[in-house]
């Protein structure tokens, strides 16, 4: 028995040494002159419509047999924080392993090492179906806070057709940190029936988790006739916080400045999902606050801030709030019990600047108690927020006032609290087409931390942008997560956000780029969102080539809806496929790159009786080139067919037409342009 164990250990060590050597060898090999590198740019323009989802971005060939590790899902890459400033942390590592081959695979082994040979473990799967994703959990690993971890996961399958993607490397380090509290900020109104229906569920959630949740409710008017008494007592600061999140609706709740809480609040999973998404991870910031009387009519808040590790680049602000835990009153919407009512910001809504350097800091602020505040229910809530990203680093309150008088509270239909909500899918998975694909499949499933290693997001306004979404997965490969652009709540039309892929290397002109996407347009016409995808061939410096441009109903994969769109089955997704040969040749010849759609002015103009019309299209599609007269009547159809990407020239002879003004219109999917032409005889 001991001999068998020894032999197994030798095999595992050899496997890791072999794959490590192979990986280094690949890094040192020059790129084939016939190959190219690309970077993808996903660009969205917000129209305050409905949600867009992206998943399973891939390039290359789908082999018959191909098993790969796609991510480590519970150890963040690069830097994360422990729940304590020093010592050790015990982790049960989990990875995602996907069968990205066309056929089922049997007898699949997965090996995991951390700081090899310090930690080695393995998992075994008798059968993995095509497109199936599994999540093995390995034996516990004790990580020392502050000690780097080189994580390597390796798959072994005898019939594997592609060994290039068998090894997954990740560098991680857990720095000193603290446990966090989670801040729930709600925008509500006493005039809103929807708030009356939802607030009891939120109140119960806060009461049950009073030790780890800070809650603040900002009150707002509803329409021109709606009046909210709490809003009238401090309209300016309630409005400032409302605009800080670009919010235009009630009820609206956001957790830690990052995660929207879905309605209805009576469904406990909507409240607990963002809670656990934040609570389960440490933070480099610890905050405590203590109130003391400063005379009969004032409160002095004594605040201590501990920063265990230097904060990343950002604009960090300490915000001090007077909050009233419970007020009994009457309102137009029928509410009588009001919890965690926002009273005032100190010294103002912009807060106090917080240093980024590690260290211990103390702040003190004395504020006046308004006569209509109930002293026994008053407390101070403080939080540190990065204004560049809106993320709350941590929060604290001066006391926990637990109240059992939460009337009409509701739970989920099962009566149980769930920490995460997932959707199940039915339907047939789509199989990749074999034609025109040459290099090994390279896949990003967005199952681990976001943005993935090598990816980046450009967020122009510091508000809503691309983020990971749990419970929704594209049809091409199994999983539970995707990327969402939350246009539904993005009430700042015209904003542009970009997501950049890692650099895909060694691709050929015959390779294909693919991704899954889902979108539903908002029911009222006019709220048009759009998605554009561009390709860079110079490492991401420029993106001259457009391969995808759709908006509104052209982008839609599901029926219009006025609800927060979540795709619930595979029929509400589409998969886009684009062969690189459509816009560039195998030798990386940039002269073949078509930067975008264009219709040039005809030449000569004026003309008699013939003229030339030139146009360019960056990708294959249906093209029509039609001439109309001044009354909009169709006079000539010059082109009406599917064309490959390229530059085109069409001759138009108007010998049988009278002199006058004519219009030439180029139409493709997602693009239309018109030029005026003058015929003089």
Residue-range domains of the chain with CATH: 63-176 (2.60.40.10), 182-397 (2.60.40.10), 442-591 (no CATH), 598-679 (2.60.40.1930)
- Of the two residues 668 and 115, the one the predictor is more confident about is 115
pLDDT computed for residue 369 by the predictor: 94
Residue 295: Cβ within 10 Å count: 10
- Looking at residue 266, its pLDDT comes to 87
Q: How far is CA 628 from CA 28, 317, 601, 632, 678, in A?
A: 59, 60, 15, 5, 12
Confidence label for 19 from pLDDT (cuts 50, 70 and 90): very low
Q: Name the band, by pLDDT with cuts 50, 70 and 90, for residue 80.
A: confident
Quickly count: other Cβ atoms within 10 Å of residue 32's Cβ.
Answer: 10
> Which of the four pLDDT bands, split at 50, 70 and 90, describes residue 479?
confident
Query: Could you write out the three-class secondary structure of 329-394?
Result: CCCCCCCCEEEEEEEEEECCCCCEECCCCCEEEEEEEEEECCCCCCHHHEEEEEEEEECCCCEEEE
pLDDT at residue 405, as a whole number: 44
Q: What's phi and psi for 323, nearest 5 deg?
A: -130, 140
Q: What is the pLDDT of residue 306?
A: 96
Q: Please, what's the b/e burial string for 171-183 (b: 16 or more CB within 10 A of its CB; e: otherwise)?
A: ebbbbbbbebbbb
Q: Percentage of residues in the chain with pLDDT exceeding 90? A: 53
Q: Is the pLDDT of residue 417 over 60?
A: no
The CA distance from 95 to 114, in Å, is: 13
The tokens for 150 are 């080189």
577 or 224, which is more confident: 577
- Report the percentage of the chain scoring pLDDT > 70: 85
Residue 138's closest CA among 155, 116, 159, 120? 120
Instruction: State the Cα torsion 276-277-281-285 to the nearest 10°.
Output: -100
| C-beta separation of 399 from 381 below 8 A | no
Q: In whole numbers, what is the pLDDT of the chain averaged over residues?
A: 84
For 277-333, the pLDDT digits (tens) are 899 889 999 999 999 999 889 999 999 999 998 898 899 999 999 999 999 998 988
The reply to whether omega before 663 is within 30° of 0 (cis) is no
Q: What is the DSSP letter of 522?
A: B
Q: Out of 88-102, 218-232, 412-426, 533-547, pick the least confident.
A: 412-426
The helix (H) or strand (E) run that includes residue 6 is helix 2-28
Tens digits of residue pLDDT in 26-60: 333 433 444 468 899 999 999 999 999 999 998 87
Contacts of 194 (CB under 8 A, 6+ apart): 250, 251, 263
pLDDT at site 28: 37
What are the contacts of 344-348 at 24+ separation with CB within 8 A? 344/234, 344/237, 345/237, 345/240, 345/241, 345/319, 345/320, 345/321, 346/301, 346/320, 346/321, 346/322, 347/320, 348/237
Instruction: Name the range with the highest mean pLDDT among 133-137, 413-417, 545-549.
Output: 133-137
Q: What is the Cα–Cα distance from 601 to 597, expressed in whole angstroms?
A: 14
How is residue 209 written in tokens? 């988790």
Give whole-number Cα distances, 90 to 81, 199, 350, in Å: 13, 38, 39
pLDDT digits (tens, 9 = 90+) for 177-188: 999 999 999 999
The four Cα atoms 352, 358, 364, 365 give a dihedral, to 10 degrees, of: 20
Handedness of CA 235, 265, 180, 469 (dihedral sign): negative
- Dihedral of alpha carbons 390, 393, 398, 404, sign: positive
The per-residue pLDDT for range 330-381, each reduced to its tens digit, is 898 899 999 999 999 999 999 999 999 999 999 999 999 999 999 999 999 9
Q: How far is CA 342 from the centre of its chain?
A: 30
Structure tokens at 565: 């769109």
Mean pLDDT of 144-160: 92
Could you tell me which residues come within 8 angstroms of residue 232 by beta carbon, excluding any fewer than 6 positions away?
Answer: none
Predicted pLDDT of residue 447: 87
Give the C-alpha separation, 327 to 405, whole Å. 11
CA–CA gap between residue 323 and residue 218 (Å, rounded): 10
> pLDDT digit string (tens) for 179-217?
999 999 999 999 999 999 999 999 999 999 999 999 999
**pLDDT of 582:** 66
Distance CA 166, CA 464 (A): 35
List CB contacts of 557: < 8 A, sequence separation 6 or more. Answer: 517, 518, 519, 520, 567, 572, 573, 574
Position 219 scores a pLDDT of 95
Provide the pLDDT confidence category of residue 619 given band limits of 50, 70 and 90.
low
* Number of helical (H) and strand (E) elements in the chain, helices listed first: 5, 41
Measure Cα distances from 381 to 177, 213, 281, 322, 384 in Å: 21, 11, 21, 6, 11
C-alpha 18/C-alpha 11 separation (Å) is 10
Q: What is the 3-state secondary structure (H, E, C) of 636-671?
A: EEEEEEEECCEEEEEEEECCCCCCEEEEEEEEECCE
Cis amide prior to 401 (ω within 30 degrees): no
d(CA 161, CA 63): 6
Give the span between the Cα atoms of 500 and 451, in whole angstroms: 9
The mean pLDDT of 454-483, rounded to a whole number, is 88
């Amino acid at each position: 028995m001991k001999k068998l164990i020894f032999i197994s250990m030798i095999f595992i060590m050899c496997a890791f040494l072999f794959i490590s050597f192979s990986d280094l060898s690949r890094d040192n090999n020059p790129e084939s002159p016939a190959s190219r590198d690309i970077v993808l740019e996903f660009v969205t323009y917000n129209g305050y419509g409905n949600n867009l989802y992206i998943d399973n971005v891939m390039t290359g060939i789908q082999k018959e047999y191909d098993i790969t590790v796609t991510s480590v899902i519970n150890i963040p890459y690069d830097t994360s924080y422990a729940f304590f400033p020093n010592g050790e942390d015990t982790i049960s590592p989990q990875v995602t392993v996907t069968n990205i081959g066309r056929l089922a695979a049997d007898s699949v082994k997965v090996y995991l090492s951390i700081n090899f040979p310090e930690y080695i473990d393995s998992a075994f799967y008798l059968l993995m179906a095509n497109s199936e994703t599994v999540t093995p959990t390995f034996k516990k690993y004790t990580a020392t806070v502050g000690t780097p971890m080189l994580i390597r996961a390796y798959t072994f399958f005898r019939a594997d057709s592609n060994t290039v993607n068998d090894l997954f490397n990740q560098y991680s380090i857990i720095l000193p940190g603290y446990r966090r509290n989670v801040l729930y900020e709600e925008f509500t109104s006493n005039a809103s029936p929807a708030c009356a229906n939802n607030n009891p569920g939120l109140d119960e959630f806060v009461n049950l988790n009073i030790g780890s949740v800070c809650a603040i409710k900002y009150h707002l008017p509803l329409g021109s006739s709606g009046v909210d008494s709490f809003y009238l007592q401090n309209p300016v600061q309630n409005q400032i916080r409302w605009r800080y999140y670009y919010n235009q609706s009630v009820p609206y709740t956001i957790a830690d400045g990052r995660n929207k809480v879905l309605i209805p609040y009576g469904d406990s999973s909507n409240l607990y999902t963002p809670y656990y998404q934040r609570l389960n991870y440490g933070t480099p910031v610890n905050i405590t606050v203590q109130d003391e009387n400063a005379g009969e009519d004032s409160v002095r808040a004594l605040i201590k801030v501990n920063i265990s590790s230097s904060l990343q680049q950002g604009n960090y602000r300490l915000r001090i709030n007077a909050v009233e835990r419970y007020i009994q009153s009457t309102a137009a919407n029928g509410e009588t019990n009001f919890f965690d009512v926002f009273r005032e910001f100190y010294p103002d809504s912009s807060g106090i600047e917080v240093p980024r350097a590690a260290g211990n800091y103390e702040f003190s602020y004395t504020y006046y108690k308004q006569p209509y505040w109930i002293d026994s229910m008053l407390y101070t809530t403080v939080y540190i927020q990065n204004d560049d990203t809106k993320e709350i680093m941590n929060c604290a309150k001066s006391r926990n006032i637990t109240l059992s008088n939460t009337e009409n509270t509701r739970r989920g239909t099962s009566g149980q609290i769930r920490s995460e909500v997932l959707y199940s899918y039915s339907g047939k998975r789509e199989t990749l087409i074999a034609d025109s694909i040459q290099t090994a499949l390279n896949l990003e499933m967005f199952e681990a931390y976001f943005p993935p290693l090598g990816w980046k997001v450009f967020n122009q306004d510091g508000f809503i942008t691309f983020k990971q979404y749990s419970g929704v997965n594209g049809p091409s490969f199994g999983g539970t997560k995707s990327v969402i652009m939350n246009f539904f709540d993005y009430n700042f039309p015209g904003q542009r956000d970009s997501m950049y892929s890692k650099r895909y290397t060694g691709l050929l002109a015959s390779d294909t780029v693919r991704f899954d996407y889902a979108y539903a347009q908002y029911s009222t016409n006019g709220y048009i969102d759009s998605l554009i995808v561009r390709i860079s061939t110079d490492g991401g410096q420029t993106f001259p080539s457009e391969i995808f441009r759709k908006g509104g109903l052209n982008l839609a994969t599901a029926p219009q809806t006025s609800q927060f769109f979540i795709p619930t089955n595979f029929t509400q997704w589409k998969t886009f496929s684009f062969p690189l040969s459509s816009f560039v040749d195998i030798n990386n010849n940039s002269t073949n790159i078509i930067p975008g759609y264009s219709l040039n002015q005809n030449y000569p103009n004026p003309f008699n009786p013939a003229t030339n019309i030139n146009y360019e299209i960056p990708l294959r599609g249906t093209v029509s080139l039609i001439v109309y007269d001044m009354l909009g009547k169709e006079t000539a159809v010059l082109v009406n067919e599917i064309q490959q990407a390229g530059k085109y020239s069409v001759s138009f002879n108007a010998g049988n037409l009278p002199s006058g003004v004519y219009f030439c219109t180029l139409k493709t999917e997602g693009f239309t342009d018109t030029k005026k032409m003058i015929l003089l005889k």
